[in-house]
Amino acid sequence: MELTGKCLCEAVTFSITGSFSQIYICHCSRCRRASGASGEAMLTVPADYFQWKSSEDQASTYASQDGFRAVFCKSCGSPLPRTNLEGDTYWVPAGLISEPSGLSVFAHIFVDSKADWDEIAGNGEKYGAHFT
């Protein structure tokens, strides 16, 4: 399977080739702040499956002291794919993926940290774990 994706201004593009996980939505406070939404919908892919196609230099990174990172487009502010700390996996914001993708939500994580106004819908598994 090959998927492509791009940021809002379409400057940054990428592709993913291979088989990979379905979408998970993280409801922790950091992902809510990084996305500006009730959670951050992501899919994880091995680094060998991911390839930047254009304007990777448009990516800017915010890193907290404890290692949390948010990567975004310098031009439009869209969240961009980022690697885990080991660099062997990409976390790809699902909203950047061109449709149709054939993906579905398989899990909601950190639901114990969700915003009080957030109502989780759908069939995805729900995992508690509190994170502030």
Structural domain for 116, as ranges: 2-126
- Average pLDDT of the residues in 107-127: 88
Both structure tokens of 121: 């819908």
**CATH number of the domain that residue 60 is part of:** 2.170.150.70
46 belongs to a structural domain: yes
Q: 10 Å Cβ neighbour count for 1? A: 11
Distance (Å, whole) CA 50 – CA 27? 25
Distance (Å, whole) CA 36 – CA 104? 21
Share of the chain above pLDDT 90, in %: 47
Distance (Å, whole) CA 118 – CA 49? 33
132 belongs to a structural domain: no
Q: Mean pLDDT of all residues in the chain? A: 88
Specify the number of domains making up the chain.
Answer: 1
95 belongs to a structural domain: yes
Q: Calculate the CA 11 to chain-centre distance.
A: 18
- Average pLDDT of the residues in 88-96: 93
